[in-house]
Chains A and B, each alone.
Chain A
Amino acid sequence: DSGVTQTPKHLITATGQRVTLRCSPRSGDLSVYWYQQSLDQGLQFLIQYYNGEERAKGNILERFSAQQFPDLHSELNLSSLELGDSALYFCASSPRTGAGGNTIYFGEGSWLTVV
């Protein structure tokens, strides 16, 4: 158990809908990362937050957004869902950013199926 909690574990929804994925980082970790894992694209970095502020941005679509709240949990919002958004979405956390933040720990992921 990495200490990173993601909910829901599985989600099935229809095209055009909107979903919210939730992540609770390890206790004390300030940094939260979101990744999308699909068969053809591998593990794609979406976005990183550090202590409530956006820190780094990757291949995140405009239909997707994220935020990190004062209690450090994070949510990833996916809207106008398409079939191609079906994937495993991972959250990860690390103690701090910068040169000292040397490891990140992953949750077990949220399986999203868009039908």
Chain B
Amino acid sequence: GEDVEQSLFLSVREGDSSVINCTYTDSSSTYLYWYKQEPGAGLQLLTYIFSNMDMKQDQRLTVLLNKKDKHLSLRIADTQTGDSAIYFCAEKGRDDKIIFGKGTRLHILP
């Protein structure tokens, strides 16, 4: 079945770039997403990329997609304390199910 994997934790110094990685198994994925969850809150859509794109940039966020390796990454430039959250990778297959990874907890070091 479909599966989305991501590392559980990432620590980054304030001002550095954060790179959160994700792998997925469904080769028929149509869209891939990054969501952010702050403590006690719901999931906020950060960005998404269509499966025929390689890269998408939106201000401090850069998404890279390697469809051959089924690898997705999210780069956050100039990481700030407000970026501290759990980041979820998700993929949408042709059956419309949207499957999420377990989330990567990003911790910002001073």
Contacts and interface: CB of A to CB of B under 8 A. Distances in A.
A19 to B, nearest CB: 19
B99 interface: yes
Contacts of B41: 108
B100 A45 contact: yes
Interface stretch (A62-70, A78-86, A95-103): A95-103
Interface string B95-110: 1111111110000000
A104 B98 contact: yes
Contacts of B102: 42-43
Say what secondary structure dominates the interface of chain B.
Answer: strand
Contact of B96 (A43, A90, A98, A109): A98
Contacts of B96: 31, 48, 50, 55-56, 97-98, 101
B46 to A, nearest CB: 11
A98 B93 CA distance: 10
A107 B41 CA distance: 9
Interface in B56-100: 88, 92, 95-100
A8 interface: no
A68 to B, nearest CB: 14
B44 interface: yes
Interface of B: 30-31, 33, 35, 41-45, 48, 50, 88, 92, 95-103
